[in-house]
């Protein structure tokens, strides 16, 4: 059994090493490039993108949907595992909460990038019309940001108190900051009772807000007449897809944190095994909804739908479609069935594949549909018959991804990535069989 001091020393935030600094520099560079490209887009207008009157939404929107989906990890793992009292969640929840917060903030930023008149962003509040699904998004995203911020912050209170003590002598200023953030946490029974209760409330809230967020996101598309979007199963389709993206991202980030912070004793193969099973479950559910979306329409496909399915299954988008479906979804499920597939490193690779697959999956949901309008595409330049992002779009999109990674990295730098107090409590429980305190 590890003693308390070792746990604190192992889990307390640490300065970046050389690799950390290089990583941060690369991310910062990508972000700066993105900002330059964005400023140019604001000046010149969105003609710098390859969007057109038919492909009226592009990767800004699919990237937005990706961020929204990935932010579901907070609801999926934190809330569900907490509410179902799955003890193996302990070393994973903090990172899940961090990913959630980073992704939902980036979702908010990404959707603004797609707005052609960012100078009029206030109109969304001043002239808001409740019947528009965009207004629902404007309501749910800030709500979700607040809830995920609280869900990250509340469980941190005991840890801030621990860090205050830990740094009291070595770094008095940092200690003072952590002390202030700990909101006078002493860990008495009254505080603990309140703590448990409020975290439970937040868990329920984030679960509901998460489901709502994914649903509204799906409704942005399914409230239109578009072939491929106009589906009544779109909300559960998006929720299950978010499950996959979120857990994929979690697995990947956790592996990197475990390696760089040398947390092999805290995040063990057992945890990866559990996450692997959860990811397999998520992929299978998503596969089911995919079959629902793409196989069932075959039987009653009207002319337009038929053309849409054709472009996905054997046409222009066939390569991407099958890559995303087979490599990004079916292959992970098969690999995760084997115990070897659920070992940390293979889980990392699978997680990466799943995340990249999830990103392209959103592209496949958005782009092909727009090229199958009900009336034929005529009288517009030939280039409008297809869409592939321009350099500006790529640079800006990469910058948003880099920004999400930067937020995650910085939060992991300054916050204990694995809950300290709770880990210590559990160790204690394991040794003296006391009632444990959920963090």
Partner 1 sequence: MEENSKKSRRKFLDRGLKIGVAGVLGGIGLSKLSAKFSSDEKASTGETMELMTTDGTIVEVDTSEVMEVSHDHHYSMDYNVREGIPNRKFVMVVDLAKCKNALKCQTSCNKNHYITGDNAWIKVYKMQESPDTAPYWMPTTCQHCDKPACVTVCPVDATFKREDGLVLIDNERCIGCRFCMAACPYSTRVFNWGDPGQEVTLNLDLTDYEPTPEYAGKPSKMGTVDKCDFCPHMVKQGELPHCVTACPNGVFYFGDKYEDTVTNGEETVRLSKLLKDKAGYRLLESLGTEPSVYYLPPVDRLVEFEDGLEFYKEFESVEKPTEE
Binds partner 1 (CB under 8 A): choice among 375, 431, 432, 433: 375
* Neighbouring C-beta atoms of residue 339, cutoff 10 Å: 10
Binds partner 1 (CB under 8 A): choice among 8, 31, 49, 402: 49
For residue 373, state whether it binds partner 1 (rule: CB under 8 A): yes
Cα–Cα dist 407/387, whole Å: 31
Binds partner 1 (CB under 8 A): choice among 10, 97, 114, 393: 114
In a 10 Å sphere around its CB, with 0-12 CB exposed, 13-18 middle and 19+ buried, how is residue 425 labelled? buried
Tokens of 245: 């993206």
Binding mask 208-227 for partner 1 (x = CB under 8 A): ------------xx-xxxx-
Nearest distance from C-beta of residue 373 to partner 1, angstroms: 4
Residues numbered 132-171 forming contacts with partner 1, rule: CB under 8 A: 132-135, 138
Comparing CB distances to partner 1, the nearer of 107 and 335 is: 107
DSSP conformation letters of 172-227: HHHHHHHHHHTTT----HHHHHHHHHHHHHHHHHHHHHHHHHHHHHHHHHHTS--T
Cα–Cα dist 395/259, whole Å: 29
Nearest distance from C-beta of residue 296 to partner 1, angstroms: 21
Stretch that binds partner 1, among 125-133, 239-247, 309-317, 330-338 (CB under 8 A): 125-133
Comparing CB distances to partner 1, the nearer of 56 and 326 is: 56
Cα–Cα dist 330/320, whole Å: 14
Nearest distance from C-beta of residue 377 to partner 1, angstroms: 8
Nearest distance from C-beta of residue 291 to partner 1, angstroms: 26
Binds partner 1 (CB under 8 A): choice among 376, 431, 432, 433: 376
For residue 45, state whether it binds partner 1 (rule: CB under 8 A): yes
Contact 245, 66 (CB under 8 A): yes
Binds partner 1 (CB under 8 A): choice among 18, 129, 184, 340: 129
Binds partner 1 (CB under 8 A): choice among 18, 85, 131, 184: 131
For residue 391, state whether it binds partner 1 (rule: CB under 8 A): no
Residues numbered 294-353 forming contacts with partner 1, rule: CB under 8 A: none
Residues numbered 234-253 forming contacts with partner 1, rule: CB under 8 A: none
Nearest distance from C-beta of residue 115 to partner 1, angstroms: 6
* Neighbouring C-beta atoms of residue 29, cutoff 10 Å: 12
Cα–Cα dist 29/38, whole Å: 14
Binds partner 1 (CB under 8 A): choice among 7, 8, 37, 51: 51
Cα–Cα dist 415/425, whole Å: 18
End-to-end CA distance of the chain: give it in Å, rounded. 20
For helices 344-370 and 303-313, angle between their N-to-C axes, nearest 10 degrees: 140
In a 10 Å sphere around its CB, with 0-12 CB exposed, 13-18 middle and 19+ buried, how is residue 88 labelled? middle
For residue 128, state whether it binds partner 1 (rule: CB under 8 A): yes
CA distance readout (Å), 115 to 392, 401, 424 = 15, 18, 47
CA distance readout (Å), 274 to 135, 255, 337, 362 = 38, 14, 12, 27
Stretch that binds partner 1, among 129-137, 155-163, 335-343, 393-401 (CB under 8 A): 129-137
Binding mask 73-92 for partner 1 (x = CB under 8 A): --------------------
For residue 120, state whether it binds partner 1 (rule: CB under 8 A): yes
Nearest distance from C-beta of residue 148 to partner 1, angstroms: 23
Question: Angle at Cα 418 formed by Cα 67 and Cα 25, nearest 5°?
Answer: 55
Residues of this chain that bind partner 1 (CB under 8 A): 44-47, 49, 51-54, 56-57, 114-117, 120-121, 123-124, 127-129, 131-135, 138, 220-221, 223-226, 370, 373-382, 384
């Amino acid at each position: 059994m590890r003693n308390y001091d070792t746990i604190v020393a192992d889990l307390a935030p640490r300065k970046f090493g050389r690799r950390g600094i290089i990583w941060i520099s690369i991310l910062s560079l990508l972000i700066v490039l993105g900002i330059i490209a964005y400023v140019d887009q604001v000046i010149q207008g969105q003609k710098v993108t390859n969007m057109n009157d038919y492909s009226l939404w592009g990767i800004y929107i699919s990237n937005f949907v990706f961020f929204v989906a990935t932010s579901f990890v907070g609801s999926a793992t934190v809330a569900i595992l907490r509410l179902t009292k799955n003890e193996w969640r302990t070393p994973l929840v903090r990172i899940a909460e961090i990913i959630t917060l980073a992704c939902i903030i980036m979702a908010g930023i990404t959707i603004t990038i797609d707005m052609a008149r960012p100078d009029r962003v206030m109109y969304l509040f001043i002239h808001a019309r409740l019947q528009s699904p965009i207004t629902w998004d404007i309501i749910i995203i800030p709500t979700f940001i607040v809830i995920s911020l609280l869900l990250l912050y509340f469980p941190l209170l005991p840890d801030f108190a621990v860090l205050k003590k830990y740094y009291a002598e070595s770094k008095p200023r940092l200690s003072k900051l952590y002390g202030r953030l700990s909101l006078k946490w002493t860990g008495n029974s009254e505080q603990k009772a309140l703590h448990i209760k409020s975290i439970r409330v937040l868990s329920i809230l984030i679960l509901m807000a998460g489901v709502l967020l994914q649903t509204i996101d799906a409704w942005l598309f399914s409230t239109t007449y578009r072939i491929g979007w106009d589906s009544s199963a779109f909300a559960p389709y998006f929720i299950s897809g978010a499950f996959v993206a979120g857990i994929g991202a979690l697995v990947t980030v956790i592996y990197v944190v475990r390696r760089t912070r040398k947390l092999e004793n805290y995040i063990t193969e057992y945890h990866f095994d559990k996450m692997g099973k959860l990811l397999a479950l998520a992929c299978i559910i998503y596969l089911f909804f995919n079959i629902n979306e793409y196989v069932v329409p075959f039987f009653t496909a009207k002319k337009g739908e038929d053309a849409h399915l054709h472009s996905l299954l054997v046409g222009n988008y066939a390569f991407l479609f099958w890559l995303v479906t087979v490599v990004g979804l079916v292959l992970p499920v098969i690999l995760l069935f084997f115990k070897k597939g659920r070992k940390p490193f293979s889980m990392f690779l699978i997680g990466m594949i799943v995340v990249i697959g999830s990103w392209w999956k959103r592209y496949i949901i958005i782009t092909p549909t727009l090229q199958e309008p009900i009336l034929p595409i005529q009288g517009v330049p030939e280039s409008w018959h297809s869409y592939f992002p321009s350099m500006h779009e790529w640079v800006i999109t990469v910058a948003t991804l880099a920004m999400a990674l930067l937020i995650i990295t910085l939060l992991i730098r300054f916050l204990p990535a694995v809950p300290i107090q709770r880990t210590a409590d559990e160790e204690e429980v394991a040794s003296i069989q006391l009632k444990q305190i959920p963090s």
